[in-house]
């Protein structure tokens, strides 16, 4: 099993995009890239800790490769928006890739190059160290799956997940719905 850390705005969207994706065994929301250990959601949302909302993805490299994982990442969010995704504004919503080794760093840079041709605006996704990584509070785990009718989920998360699941339908487990 391998591990990848990605931040693409609200972690509910990114987590949902990787749930039930063939080869992904776990997608868990968390925080990384900040200057304090073990921040709370409230601290991260204040923008004062330097953390990004991220998702830790555990995957089987024999089933899904980094290139495909990055394809999903660049589809589920807009990597051209600096420190925001739509109405979610702040450094905690930045588009970031936190590679854990040289192979991931190279694959991340290759993906950014590949997707630069897809977007008309420049990609602002950062490549940074996963400093002070921590898992988010339990109530954030599977948030969209447990709250699909909540306002933000219905208006923002749902449409993003529909786009990803439509674009990559062949990669989702048959029961992904």
Residue with tokens 């996963």: 130
Closest CA to 157 of 83, 93, 77: 77
Chain centroid to CA 49: how far?
Answer: 19
Q: What is the dihedral of CA 50, 75, 104, 170, to 10 degrees?
A: 140
Q: How does DSSP classify residue 122?
A: P
Give the C-alpha distances (Å, rounded to integers) separating 7 from 16, 62, 105, 173.
13, 24, 15, 23
**Known active-site residue 10:** yes
Which member of 10, 13, 96, 153 is catalytic?
A: 10
Closest CA to 75 of 142, 141, 171: 171
Give catalytic residues, as residue numbers: 10
């Amino acid at each position: 099993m391998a591990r990848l850390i990605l931040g693409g705005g609200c972690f509910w969207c990114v987590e949902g995009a990787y749930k039930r994706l063939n080869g992904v065994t776990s997608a868990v929301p968390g925080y990384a890239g900040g200057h304090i250990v073990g921040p709370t959601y409230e601290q991260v949302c204040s923008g004062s800790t330097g953390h990004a909302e991220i998702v830790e993805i555990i995957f089987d490299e024999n089933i899904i490769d980094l290139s495909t994982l990055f394809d999903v990442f660049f589809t589920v969010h807009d990597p051209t928006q600096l420190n925001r995704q739509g109405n979610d504004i702040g450094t905690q919503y930045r588009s970031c890739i936190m590679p854990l080794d040289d192979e991931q760093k190279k694959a991340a840079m290759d993906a950014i190059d590949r997707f630069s041709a897809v977007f008309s605006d420049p990609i602002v996704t950062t490549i940074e160290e996963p400093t002070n990584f921590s898992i988010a509070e339990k109530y954030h785990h599977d948030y969209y799956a447990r709250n699909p009718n909540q306002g933000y989920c219905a208006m923002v998360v749902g449409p993003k997940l529909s786009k990803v699941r439509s674009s990559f339908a062949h990669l989702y487990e048959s029961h992904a719905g």
